[in-house]
């Protein structure tokens, strides 16, 4: 996996670019949680569930089907999230899917179980530039620093480059005079 920090950086950058009028702070927080949520499956190691099992790390919790759960929950809770049901489901669902897609760009571990239950093939992209974060990585070690550097280049920077034009467009849009 990229580190849990980098999974949260993606929603935080896009949410900030879109502005809190479109992506409320509670919705942004829900998106960040959804982007980190699939890695809750590492708890399975403590329960004796093997990495390659259906519910092992990067297994069913890293599927598109699983991402529907936080999306549906967000739609149900759209009022406290201060948004519409479709916007809550779309934002949270896309961020939940962003997690396994980023994992599939890492250079180690097993692939992600993206299409479960339709297909149990563990998926990786053919090009995998992100250094895999060791499970339970100590971020203050040399290895942890290398992983963070790799993620800055391959996750934070591309996300910022995509979020920047969105931010500039939103500023222009918000500043444009409204028709009475």
Least distance to Zn ion, CB of residue 106, Å? 9
Strand-pairing partners, residue 130, are: 106
Nearer to Zn ion, 1 or 94 (CB): 1
In the three-class reduction of DSSP (H, G, I as helix; E, B as strand; rest coil), residue 123 is classed as strand
Question: Phi then psi for 79, rounded to 5 degrees?
Answer: -65, -55
Q: Give the CB-nearest residue to Zn ion.
A: 1
Nearer to Zn ion, 38 or 93 (CB): 38
CA 94, CA 133: separation in Å to the nearest integer? Answer: 22
* By CB under 5 A, residue 9 contacts Zn ion: no
In the three-class reduction of DSSP (H, G, I as helix; E, B as strand; rest coil), residue 102 is classed as helix
Q: Which of residues 60-119 bind Zn ion (CB under 5 A)?
A: 103
Least distance to Zn ion, CB of residue 160, Å? 21
What track of x and - describes contact with Zn ion for positions 29 through 48 (by CB under 5 A)?
A: ---------xx---------
* By CB under 5 A, residue 1 contacts Zn ion: yes
Least distance to Zn ion, CB of residue 42, Å? 8
Nearer to Zn ion, 24 or 133 (CB): 133
Q: What is the 3-state secondary structure (H, E, C) of 10-73?
A: HHHHHHHHHCCCCCCHHHHHHHHHHHHHHHHHHHHHHCCCCCCCCCCCCCHHHCHHHHHHHHHH
Nearer to Zn ion, 135 or 153 (CB): 135
* DSSP state letter for 118: T
Least distance to Zn ion, CB of residue 83, Å? 26
| Residues of this chain that bind Zn ion (CB under 5 A) | 1, 38-39, 103
């Amino acid at each position: 996996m990229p580190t849990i920090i980098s999974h949260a950086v993606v929603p935080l950058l896009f949410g900030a670019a879109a502005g809190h009028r479109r992506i409320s702070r509670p919705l942004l927080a829900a998106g960040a949680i959804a982007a980190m949520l699939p890695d809750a499956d590492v708890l399975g190691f403590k329960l004796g569930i093997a990495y390659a099992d259906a519910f092992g790390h990067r297994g069913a919790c890293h599927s598109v089907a699983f991402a529907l759960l936080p999306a549906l929950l967000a739609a149900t809770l759209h009022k406290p999230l201060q948004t519409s049901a479709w916007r809550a489901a779309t934002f949270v669902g896309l961020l939940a899917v962003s997690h396994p897609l980023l994992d599939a760009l890492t250079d180690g571990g097993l692939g992600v179980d993206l299409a479960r239950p339709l297909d149990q093939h563990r998926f990786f992209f053919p090009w995998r530039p992100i250094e895999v974060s060791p499970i339970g990585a100590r971020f203050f070690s040399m290895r942890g620093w290398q992983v963070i550097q790799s993620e800055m280049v391959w996750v934070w920077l591309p996300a910022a480059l995509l979020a920047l034009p969105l931010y500039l467009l939103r500023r222009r849009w918000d500043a444009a005079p409204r028709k009475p």
